[in-house]
Amino acid sequence: MSDSSDRRLRAVLWDMDGTLLDSEKIWDVAVEELSLDLGRELTPEVRESTLGNSMQDALRTVFAHTGTEVSDQSLATARNWLTDRVAVLFAEGISWRPGAKDALQLVRDLGLRSALVTNTERGLVEYALDTVGRDYFDATVSGDEVEAGKPHPAPYLRGASLLGVAPEDCLAVEDSPTGSLSAHRAGCSVLFVPSELAVTPRAGYVVRSSLVGLTADELSSAWCDARSTTSS
């Protein structure tokens, strides 16, 4: 680990759904079908409130919307149904988010460490990695491998730890307020690239409209600028 006098960008931590892959649309289909199966049509507001959430938090939100009793059994049944449905949809193909593949390659070309940090559970992450490519990452963290999912800092703390770097030396790339808050709480700088939701500018965040055309200088500047707003 580096001390405070030796701070520099050493690693990039990537969210998956909505950041690297245009997979939120796939989750839209599955969550809407689950809500209907539980007896009530999903509203855009409820779906929006689940973006970036852990599986358990998303299910609890849908349960509250549909008036479904929350129990270990009902959560397990819904989780299994949703996981199986998303797996089927993932297998049909997942599109890249604009500029994401080039951004991953840029980080590799720069010799920086790289980790995938997602709330999605391991089984589905393995499907997605067949699209993303495993060679882009030195480590991967899924939502069922940490004590709590985003917005808790645990996923990003684990990602940094697996890479052997301090969170302060990491830039997290996120598309949701939930994920961005997780990274910020962990001590990472945040590059927010919105897919579905806008974000209110705040200290520790740099906002970019997309990953298209991202350069090495812009990557470094995002880390520096986010750190400077947090320190000021």
Question: Which long-range contacts link 22-28 to residues 24+ away (Cβ below 8 Å)?
Answer: 22/94, 22/95, 22/96, 22/97, 22/195, 23/90, 23/94, 23/128, 24/51, 24/195, 24/196, 26/86, 26/89, 26/90, 26/94, 27/86
Which residue did the predictor score with more confidence, 170 or 177? 170
pLDDT in tens, 200-232: 767 889 999 999 999 999 999 999 999 887 654
Q: In the predicted model, what is the mean pLDDT of residues 148-172?
A: 97
Q: Which pLDDT score, from 0 to 100, does residue 142 have?
A: 96
pTM here?
0.84
pLDDT in tens, 28-43: 888 899 899 899 998 9
Supply the mean pLDDT for the chain. Answer: 90
Which residue did the predictor score with more confidence, 94 or 55? 94
Report DSSP state, residue 135.
Answer: G
Decide: 17 and 195 in contact? Cβ < 8 Å: no
pLDDT-wise least confident of 11-15, 17-21, 145-149, 194-198: 194-198
Q: Over 80: is that where the pLDDT of 112 sits?
A: yes
Q: Which pLDDT score, from 0 to 100, does residue 1 have?
A: 46
Q: Over 90: is that where the pLDDT of 55 sits?
A: no
